[in-house]
Amino acid sequence: MKVSSIIAAAGLIAPAFAGDKGYGNDKGKKLVTQKELVKDIKLKDLLAGAQKLQDFANANGGNRAFGGGGHNATVDWLYKTLKATGYYNVIKQPFVELFTAATIDFSVNGVEYPASYMTYSPSGNATAPLVPVANIGCDAADYPAKVSGNIALISRGTCPFSQKATLAKAAGAVGAVVYNNVPGPLGGTLGGVGDYVAIVGITQEVGTTLLDLVAAGEVTATLDVNAIAENRTTYNVIAETKTGDKNNVLVLGGHTDSVFAGPGINDDGSGTVGVLAVAKALTKYKIKNAVRFGFWSAEEFGLLGSYHYLKTLNGTISGSAREVAKIRAYLNFDMIASPNYVLGIYDGDGSAFNLTGPTGSDTIEKDFEDFFKKKGVPSVPSIFSGRSDYAAFLQNGIPSGGLFTGAEELKTEEEAALFGGTAGTSLDPNYHQAGDTVENLSKEAFLLNSQSIANSVAKYALSFKGIPKPSVAHRKREAEASRFMVRFADKVAEEHKGHVHASPCGQGTLLQ
Ligand SMILES: [Zn+2]
C-alpha cells in the first residue's frame, strides 16, 4: 500500500523536546481540573472550527484529501493555531506517499449506477458488452474467451482485488467491475501499483441486477475511470506541552485528511476540531504530565501518518523503544459527531468483543464510561478493529482508547432506543461522501464527546493512576499480544455484524 522506496528521509521528529522540566514554567496558572477543562469546551468554538475546515474544502475542489490544497490548508491552520498559544512545541513532520484518486462514471444500457474506486486502479474508458466471469474470478480459467475486448463482471470473494484486476487484464478485458458479496457499497484497494485493468466496485444489489440483465440478453456498459496518481509530500502536526513530565506522556489525536469524495467534516474534522479545542483550553492551566497532540495525515490511505510517526519514534532518528515507553496512553478520536450517532467507546477491557487492549486500556474505557454516566447519557462499546490510527499505538503495546459515533453501519432498534435517531439508517449516511459537511454534524454528539475528551485529558494530565507504568520488556509483550489480536479483529467484527461499528473510517483499505 505504501511505496516505501519514495519515502523521503523522515526529517525532524524530536519526540522529546529539550527544555522545561516539571511544570515550573506555568507560574500564575492553576492546576488543571476535569470540571474546569470540560466547562471550557463550547459548542460555538467547535462549530467555528468545523466551518473553517469546510471552507478549506470548499476552496479546494470539495475535499481535504492528503497532500491536496484543502488538506495543506488544514495542516497549516493547525500548526499556526497551536504555535500561537506559546504553550506547545509544535512541529510539522513531513513524509511522502503516492496519492491516487479518481472520478468514475459507470452506466449499463444507458442507466447510471454508483461505483467506487479501487485505490491504485489505472484510468480507463471503454464502452463494451458486460461479460460475467465464472466462479469468483480467482483463476485464469474463470475468464471466458468472450471477456477479451469487453468488460468483466466479477464477484467479490476469496482472493485480493489485485488478483482479479490482473487476471482480467491478462484475459484481454478493457475494464472490470467487482460486485459485493454482502450488502453495501464496495470500495477497496489493489494494495499497490501493478499491471491492472481499470477496476471499480459496486453493491451486491446492482451486481444482481446486472447479472439478471446479462442473462436476458447482451448488455452494453460504459466504464470511465479518470485516475490521478502522484507522489505527494504531506505532514503530521505534533504539538507537545512545553511543561509537564516528559517521561510520562499522554498522546491523543485524530486524522486531518478526508477522502477524495468529500470534505470529511465528521470524518475526521470532528475529531480534529474536538482535540484542538481541548489543546487550546489546556493552555490556561498547569499540568503534571506532558500532553502530546498528534494530528495524523493520510489515515484514509491506510493509517500512513500514525504508522510513520511510530516508526520514526522507534527508529534511529531520535527515538527508541524507550521513547515509545514514555507514552503512557493514547486516545483516538475519529468521527465523533455522526448525524445518527451512538456514543461509542473503544472496548479496551474486551468485555464486549474479547479483543482486549494493552493493560490500562480497561481504565481508559472506564474513564470515558464514567463521564457519560455522570452526564446521564448512555454509551456502548465499540470494537478495536485496527482500522483507525490507534492501531499503530496498540501494535506498540500502548494502552489505548477513544470515542467513535459510527460510520455506514445501520442503527439497530436497541441503539435507537438508547440514543434516539433512526433505526435501519446508517449512523453516518454521508460517510465518505460529498454530504459529510458542517451542516450534517450532530451538535449534541460533537459537544458531549469533545467534553469527554477534555475530561480524560485533564485526568491524565494530573495522574496515570490505574494505567500501569511499563518496562520496555512489558511493552514488547503487550505489543506482540496486540499484533496477534488484530489478526482476529475482522472475524470478530463479522460475527457481530450489525452490532459493531467496526468500519474504518478507511474503507479504502479493504484488500479483498
Ligand atoms: Zn476517519
What's the pLDDT at 98?
A: 86
As a whole number of angstroms, the distance between CA 350 and CA 353 comes to: 5
- Asked whether the predicted pLDDT for residue 70 surpasses 90, the reply is yes
Measure 389 CA to ligand 1 centroid, in angstroms: 9
Cα separations in angstroms, 414 against 78, 116, 377, 493: 38, 31, 15, 18
Burial label, 240 (beta-carbon count in 10 A; 0-12, 13-18, 19+): buried
- As a whole number, mean pLDDT of residues 268-274 equals 98
CB 180 within 8 A of CB 186: yes
Ligand 1 center from residue 334 Cα (angstroms) = 5
Q: What percent of the chain lies above the pLDDT cut of 70?
A: 89
Sign of the dihedral defined by the CA atoms of residues 235, 6, 388, 423, in that order: positive
- For residue 45, cis peptide bond before it (omega within 30 degrees of 0): no
| Centre of ligand 1 from the C-alpha of residue 430, in Å | 12
Region at 108 (left for phi over 0; alpha for psi -120 to 50; beta for the rest): beta
C-alpha grid cell, residue 318? 531520535
| Banded pLDDT at 184 (limits 50, 70, 90) | confident
Residue 493's pLDDT is what? Answer: 56
Instruction: Give the C-alpha separation, 411 to 415, whole Å.
Output: 6
CA of 388 to the centre of ligand 1 (A): 7
The pLDDT of residue 76 is: 98
CB 150 within 8 A of CB 128: yes
Grid cell for residue 143:
475468464
Copy the grid coordinates of residue 417. 432506543
Q: Which residues pair with 202 in a beta bridge?
A: 179
Cα 332 to middle of ligand 1, angstroms = 10
C-alpha to C-alpha distances, 24 to 83, 286, 287, nearest whole angstrom: 20, 9, 10
Instruction: Quote the pLDDT of residue 500.
Output: 37
Alpha carbon distance 503, 388 (integer Å) = 9
Closest to 153 measured CA to CA, from 90, 183, 108: 108
Assess contact for 150 and 174: CB atoms under 8 A.
Answer: yes
Distance CA 17, CA 296 (A): 19
In the predicted model, is pLDDT for residue 486 greater than 50? yes
How does pLDDT run across 92-126, given as a tens digit for each residue?
A: 999 999 888 888 999 999 999 999 989 889 999 99
Report CA-CA distances (Å) from 137 to 11, 162, 166.
44, 11, 10
Which pLDDT score is estimated for 501?
Answer: 36
What's the whole-number mean pLDDT along residues 289-304? 94
What percent of the chain is predicted at pLDDT more than 90? 71
- Catalytic annotation present for 205: no
Average pLDDT across the chain, whole number: 89
pLDDT of residue 16 exceeding 80, the answer is: no
Distance CA 94, CA 2 (A): 15
CB atoms within 10 A of CB 444: 15
Domain with CATH 3.40.630.10 in the chain: 31-87+242-509
Please give the distance, rounded to the nearest whole angstrom, from the Cα atom of residue 90 to the centre of ligand 1: 23
Collapsing DSSP states into helix, strand and coil, what is residue 439? Answer: helix
Tell how strand 88-108 and strand 111-112 pair up: antiparallel
CA–centroid distance, 382 to ligand 1, in Å, is: 15
Q: How confident is the model at residue 13 (pLDDT cuts 50, 70, 90)?
A: very low
CA distance 443 to 49: 13
DSSP state of 470: P
Distance 281 CA to ligand 1 centre (A): 24
B/e letters for 348-382, b = 16+ CB within 10 Å, e = fewer, are: bbbebbebbbbbbbbbbbbbbbebbeeeeeebbbb
CATH number belonging to domain 31-87+242-509: 3.40.630.10
**3-class secondary-structure state, position 376:** coil
Residue 268 dihedral angles phi and psi, to the nearest 5° = -125, 40
Give the C-alpha separation, 109 to 62, whole Å: 30
Angle, CA 486 vertex, CA 482 and CA 487 arms, to 5° = 125
Comparing CA positions, the residue from 380, 339, 378, 369 lying closest to residue 452 is 369
| Catalytic residue selected from 36, 112, 205, 299 | 299
Domain 100-229: which topology?
A: Glucose Oxidase; domain 1 (3.50.30)
Q: Which cell is 130 given?
A: 458486460
Q: What separation in Å is there between the alpha carbon of 347 and the centre of ligand 1?
A: 18
Whole-structure pTM value? 0.82
The closest of 419, 445, 411, 440 to 333, measured between CA atoms, is 445
User: Measured in angstroms, how far is the CA atom of residue 391 from the centroid of ligand 1?
Assistant: 13
DSSP 14-42: -SS--S--TTTT-TTPPBP-HHHHHHT--
Of 183-197, 231-245, 354-368, 494-508, which one has max mean pLDDT?
231-245
Q: How far is CA 180 from the centre of its chain?
A: 22
Q: Tell me 286's DSSP state.
A: B
pLDDT of residue 474: 79
Q: Which residue has the higher pLDDT, 14 or 372?
A: 372
Residue 223 main-chain phi, psi, to 5 deg: -125, 115
Q: Where in the chain is the domain with CATH 3.50.30.30?
A: 100-229
Dist. CA 31 → ligand 1 center (Å): 33
